[in-house]
Amino acid sequence: MNCSAKRIGVIVNGATGGVVNSKHLSHVLIPIIRERGIILSDGSRLVLDLLLVGRNENRLKEVADKYAIEKWTTNLSDTFSDPDFTVYFDGAQTGGRGDRLKAALTAGKHVYTEKPVARSIQEAAELISLAQQCRGACGAVVDKIYLPGLRKLKHVIDSGFLDRILSVKLDFGYWIFDGESQEGQRPSWNYKAEEGGGLVLDMFPHWSYILHHLFGRVTGIFCKAYTHIPKRWDETGTAYNVDVEDAVFALMTLEESISVQLSTSWATRVRRSDLLTIQVDGTGGSAVATLHDCFCQSLSDTPRPYFDPVNPQSMDFFRQWTMFEDDTPFKHSFRYGWENFLRHITTGEKLNFDLHTGLEALQLIDAAYKSSREGHWINIEPVTGF
């Protein structure tokens, strides 16, 4: 077996941010380094060398010291001219992402990016064209489909257990404190339009690739967005007005005439089995996926519930479902995408999700905003021209 090592330099922008620090670094990139790299198909190891980038020097140094990373900088532009780092990862705030990716591609870097990949469909199309000219690989983060519960749901769907799928109900959300009475769990920029905030921009890229991966492309949407909590307090205790949505409710259609009900809110309290539940109803049975589990009910096991205005419901509906068992070991959901991207640029493995995935998400985002603004149904055509 070939035990030689191949080094690859990765620029990690947004290293001090919550998602990058707590997910990409702590659960993917640092473990890969501590495991002495990724074993490739030829038996060699792909060893990572990280260059951390952030805006706050003190916080950045803390992160670098925490993970024993020697290379870090607050000057992003200088990293693009460094030939030792051929991969650029963008996990910084949404505002300005398109410009940063363009700069990285122009500098000859491969890019891997968080969502949304750009601020508009046109900007995403420009990125795709630029990537084709520069011949750089462009991957998009699609972590949610690799969660244990959604992987199990995919197995159930592919097995034919549900038969013809009729409808999907997706319910996600929890209460985000306003920052006055208790510290908010999300950064304040999430609630500011000029900084790329808003629930649609944040969550609809996930819904786009999840729905497409499990059931098919979104073909239409009727949507209403709300700002339920109009005033919040930032990390310094300063009050500010929220100018983006914090709750969104939608009806969608997918390919094969599958209907979707979607509820997404940062102003709701949880009384369900997890922060995310996806119920799929089919002619042969139903399935409900959470972040970690999946429960099924076949047609033959379907009960005959009844309505009684006098007596409490005697059926325990939760006990009528069977947990789908899967002993396959799971990696962290973010790691699947990272490994696929790194293998793609080093061994030519097929890239599962690229900027076209991000472009499709932006189509859904634009349609959601337009539907909410204009109050009518919006059809979504397939992405063409690439």
Q: Identify each DSSP E strand in the chain by its residue range.
A: 5-13, 38-39, 45-53, 72-73, 87-90, 110-113, 138-140, 165-173, 218-226, 231-233, 239-241, 247-254, 259-265, 276-282, 285-289, 294-298, 322-323, 378-379
CA dihedral 339, 343, 349, 355 (to 10 degrees): 70
Digitized pLDDT (tens) for each residue of the chain, 386 residues in all:
455 889 999 999 999 998 999 999 999 999 999 999 999 988 899 999 999 999 999 999 999 999 999 999 999 999 999 999 999 999 998 889 999 999 999 999 999 999 999 989 999 999 999 999 998 899 999 999 999 999 999 999 999 999 999 999 999 999 999 999 899 999 999 999 998 899 999 999 999 999 999 999 999 999 999 999 999 999 999 999 999 999 999 999 999 999 999 999 999 999 999 999 999 999 999 999 999 999 999 999 999 998 999 999 999 999 999 999 988 888 999 999 999 999 999 999 999 999 999 999 999 999 999 999 999 999 999 987 66
Q: Strand 38-39 and strand 45-53: pairing?
A: antiparallel
- Residues of each domain in the chain carrying CATH 3.30.360.10: 144-330+363-374
Contact between residue 383 and residue 122 where contact means Cβ atoms under 8 Å apart: no
Cβ atoms of residues 199 and 225 within 8 Å: yes
Cα(175)–Cα(173) distance, integer angstroms? 7
How far is Cα 43 from Cα 16, in angstroms, rounded to an integer?
34
Looking from the CA of 57 toward its CB, the CA atoms found within 13 Å total: 2
C-alpha to C-alpha distance for 234 and 81, rounded to whole angstroms: 35
Residue recorded with tokens 């999430």? 190
Q: Which CATH superfamily is domain 5-143+333-351 in?
A: NAD(P)-binding Rossmann-like Domain (3.40.50.720)
**Which superfamily is assigned to 144-330+363-374 in CATH?**
Dihydrodipicolinate Reductase; domain 2 (3.30.360.10)
Which residue type, as a one-letter code, is found at position 110? H
Listed in order, the ranges of the chain carrying CATH 3.40.50.720 are 5-143+333-351
Given the DSSP bridges, would you call strands 45-53 and 5-13 parallel, antiparallel or unpaired? parallel
What is the distance between the alpha carbons of residues 48 and 32, in angstroms, rounded to a whole number?
Answer: 8
Write down the pLDDT at residue 2: 53
Distance CA 93, CA 195 (A): 7
Q: What is the pLDDT of residues 128-156, one digit of tens each?
A: 999 999 988 999 999 999 999 999 999 99
Cα 277 from Cα 354, distance rounded (Å): 26
Q: What is the pLDDT of residue 1?
A: 43
Count other C-beta atoms under 10 Å from residue 131's C-beta. Answer: 19
